[in-house]
Amino acid sequence: MNSEVNKDGHLVIGGCDTVELVKEFGSTLYLFDENTLRSMCREFKREFGQRYEDTTVVFAGKACLNRSIASILKEEDIGLDVVSAGEYAIAESVNFPADMIYLHGNNKSAEELRTALKNRFARIVVDGFDELKLLAKLAEKAGCIPDILLRITPEVDAHTHKHITTGLSGSKFGFPLFDADRAVSMAMSLESLNLVGLHCHIGSLINETQPYVETIDVMLGFASQMERKYGFELEELDIGGGFPVRYTVNSPNVKIAAFAEAIVSRLISRCNALDMPLPSLTIEPGRAIVARAGVALYRVGMIKDVSGLKRYISVDGGMADNIRPALYEAEYEALIANNAAAEDTDTVTIAGKYCESGDILIKEIKLPPAACGDIIAVPVCGAYCIPMASNYNASLKPAIVMVKEGAARIIRKRDTLQDLVRNDLL
Ligand code: LLP
């Protein structure tokens, strides 16, 4: 993140004074720094590409997708994983090339599958037997043969929060390993589908490289069995996303390079050991590409001391724009954007404004003394905040600005009160 503190003690991001941004665009305000976003796209391409040329980087749109981000990804020549007609509509609106789009989801509608077929998406990642049969029929009707991957649950524990673990048996995603043999033989027998490889995604915010290494062992071991049994050829191995970011100073600081090194070296060594040709490698980072680029800016309102124990600093946003602390006990850092160089002397709790006791953004954080009207900046808010935002308490979803080298442009207007009633009928 390109940040500094200016002579007024204000936090400056992407060359823009965050206090001025809030004055101009109001709060709650989300800002994205374009250079950070681009540099993360490049870091993934570089770190994996220099070790394994045949790597495709596909951004997981669910982490945060809007027209501006989609245009930047397109310029950076990054693929896109979409999970709904809605995500595709955003991509399509900026002419994102369909042949760089992967379609995911455990319950794709026939309409979504038809859209993928009609527009010739790069891949459809098939999640279950019903989908396999439906897609085969639809493809036959559409007169095309889509390239598909089968999503397999490799039964590897990613050691992350239970809500974002997807690699263990019992997950709603993918073919369980015990049934994956049948899935491969069925997919190979369906003439209207072209099975090019296997997919897996074991979870999100994975701080260790070991679960990826185990996953590669399982996936390649399975592929090699399928080769012996059915002559299946693994042309592509997609290992999903899950790469971590540092939310707080205490979280592990593992570099993308370390993941690239562990994944690529295991892929090569296992393929050699199993005497398999090297497949192309696909990765689907979401969080690690956008999280650090985004910062939430809130205005402080009421401050309350409770039982001489706790000081609550209430801000004008909260769980409606960032549900992650309430949902996953996610932790964040914060600073006072208009007093960014001051010493942290007070221990406070930053509370959201919504009608739930669980609407706490940060429990127990050290900050300089805060006052009504101050601006609180919460870094690393670029992933899974805006996409999971709601209009809870009939709140207005925040505006978003993109900053770059001293210039700010609004990329999403704040909701208006009219928006709240627009779709309601009497
Ligand atoms: N590929 C697939 C098939 C996925 O399901 C996901 C995320 C990704 C890639 C990207 O994972 P990432 O690199 O962003 O970890 N709302 C949760 C995260 C849910 C992740 C869902 N799937 C959160 O706020 O932590």
> What is the pLDDT, as a whole number, of residue 170?
80
CB 93 within 8 A of CB 67: yes
Instruction: Please report the atom of ligand 1 found closest to the CA of residue 287.
Output: 14
Q: Residue 286 phi/psi, 5° resolution? A: -115, -75
9: region left, alpha or beta (phi > 0 left; psi from -120 to 50 alpha)? left
Task: Output the pLDDT for position 160.
Answer: 72
Q: Is the CB of 104 under 6 A from ligand 1?
A: yes
Shortest-distance Cα residue to atom 9 of ligand 1: 241
The pLDDT of residue 184: 98
Q: Is 94 helix (H, G, I), strand (E, B) or coil?
A: coil
- How close is the Cα of 20 to the center of ligand 1, in Å? 33
Q: Which two tokens stand for residue 104?
A: 């995911």
Place of tokens 């089968």: 150
Nearest CA to ligand 1 atom 6: 241
Contact present, 387 and 290 (Cβ < 8 Å): no
**Residue 11: what pLDDT?**
98
pLDDT value of residue 53? 98
In percent, the amount of the chain with pLDDT more than 90 equals 95
Q: Which numbered atom of ligand 1 lies nearest the CA of 199?
A: 3
Please give the mean pLDDT across all residues of the chain.
96
Residue 327 in contact with ligand 1 by CB distance below 6 A: no
Supply the residue whose CA is at minimum distance from atom 16 of ligand 1: 384
Question: Given this model, what pLDDT does residue 164 score?
Answer: 65
- What is the maximum alpha-carbon separation in the chain? 71
Is residue 298 within 8 A of residue 370, CB to CB? The reply is no
Integer Rg of the chain from CA: 23
Quick one: pLDDT at residue 309? 80
Q: Please tell me whether the overall predicted TM-score, pTM, comes out greater than 0.95 for this model.
A: yes
Q: Where are the beta strands (DSSP E) in 221-380?
A: 236-238, 280-283, 294-306, 310-315, 335-336, 346-351, 360-367, 375-378
Q: What's the pLDDT at 159? A: 76
Pick the CATH number of 3-32+292-421 from 3.90.1150.10, 2.40.37.10, 3.40.47.10, 3.20.20.450: 2.40.37.10
Is CATH 2.40.160.20 correct for 34-290?
no
Q: Residue ranges of the domains in the chain?
A: 3-32+292-421, 34-290
Task: Name residues of the chain where pLDDT drops below 50.
Answer: none
